[in-house]
Structure formats: structure tokens, C-alpha cells
Amino acid sequence: MSYTVKKGWIEQARISPSANFGPRPQGCDIDLLVIHNISLPPGQYEGNCIEQFFTNCLDWKEHEYFSQIEGVQVSAHLLIRRTGELIQFVSLEDRAWHAGESCIGERRECNDFSIGIELEGTDDEAYTEDQYRVLRGATEALLREYPKMTANGIVGHSDIAPGRKTDPGPSFDWPRYRSSLTEAGGSA
């Protein structure tokens, strides 16, 4: 499937607005794509807990694990569910709160210049065919929309927050993903 970005929104995504974002610094080019994973509760894929978490609607008492993240306000630009459903929480033009304390090379605060995509999953469980298909299509749309972003500017959360984050983990097939990308915006 081909995806279209219009005024910061992927037209084919379901929109679930999050309040957890802010403006990007003036003149800041978007040139980094960060791949994450998330499941709430950990390792469970049924329900809407991720969406509720990103939109500040999670019932902290619903599961004992939630007490560890109670009050945390985070978001991502996009979430790809295991079924391949694409959900957008924050305009691509805005600064989502997905990377936390992070750096790439000498550049800090990766949220300022990156787009964050969450894959519903865990570090050690294979991602689905549907997720790879949607991730490829969304990535190609982003590479077309943001010319400063290239396939070389695609990293895992673990790459920009080493020692603090491990996602998307060893179960993410980087060679498969990179080889699936077309020349849109740069070679894989």
C-alpha cells in the first residue's frame, strides 16, 4: 500500500490525537526516523492500552504493571499494531515525546528532529508480516516527504539511548526492513 502525507498527517492512518507533543525548534529539519516497540501490559497485544497510554486515558489500576508507568506522558507519531493497523497520534510536523534522553553522534534531544514509529511488540518476539508491510509503506512516504531523511537516518531506540533502551530488539529484522525500502528518499 502507498501512503500519502498531507500537512503532517498520513491520510491512511487512523487518527487518535495525543496531547503529549510540542513544537519543534524553529528551523529544525526532520532527518531521523526512530523505530521503537511497545506492548501494554508487556507482552500482551489485545486491547487499547497503548492508545490509552499515549492519549493520557490509561486506567492505572487496570493492571499491576501500570503502577510503574503511572503519570508518565509520552507519545509517538505512529503506532503499527500487530494486525497492521496504522494509528497516528501526533502530526509529523510536531515534536512527539518518544525518544526521551537521547543522542546520535554529537546531536542531543532526538525528539527535536525525528519521527517516532512504535511497533506493537517486544524485543524478543517476531514482528508480523503486516507490520513489516505497513512499516515499509510508511517509511517510503516519510522519505518522500522529508528529503533530509534518508535510509541511513533510520535507527532503533537502542541506537540513540544505549544502555537505557533496547527496542526494537533482536527480534526486529533490520536486513529485511532495509532491503524492502525503495530508492524513495535514498538507498537502503
The total number of structural domains that make up the chain:
1
In a domain, 187, yes or no: no
Asked, for residue 185, whether it belongs to a domain, the answer is: no
∠ Cα 28 163 79 (to 5°): 55
pLDDT of residue 182: 65
Cell of 63: 493492571
Residue 69 lies in a domain: yes
CB 78 within 8 A of CB 13: yes
Give the per-residue pLDDT at 184: 42
pLDDT of residue 1: 81
Residue 188 lies in a domain: no
Q: Is residue 87 part of a domain?
A: yes
- List the catalytic residue out of 118, 120, 140, 145: 118
What CATH code is carried by the domain that includes residue 118?
3.40.80.10
What contacts 90, CB < 8 A, 6 or more positions away?
Answer: 17, 18, 20, 21, 75, 76, 77, 96
- Is 118 among the catalytic positions? yes
Asked whether residue 15 is assigned to any structural domain, the reply reads yes
Q: What are phi and psi of 51, to 5 degrees?
A: -60, -40
> pLDDT tens digits for 73-127?
999 999 999 999 999 999 999 999 999 999 999 999 999 999 999 999 999 999 9
Alpha-carbon separation of residue 187 from 23, 62, 146, 156 (angstroms): 30, 45, 14, 18
pLDDT digits (tens, 9 = 90+) for 37-60: 999 999 999 899 999 999 999 999
Count CB neighbours of 186 within 10 A: 16
124 in any annotated domain: yes
Peptide bond into 41 cis (omega under 30): yes
Domain range for residue 96?
5-180
Alpha-carbon separation of residue 35 from 7, 66, 107, 138, 165 (angstroms): 22, 23, 18, 12, 12
Give the pLDDT score at 124: 96
pLDDT tens digits, 4-25: 999 999 999 999 999 999 999 9
pTM: 0.95
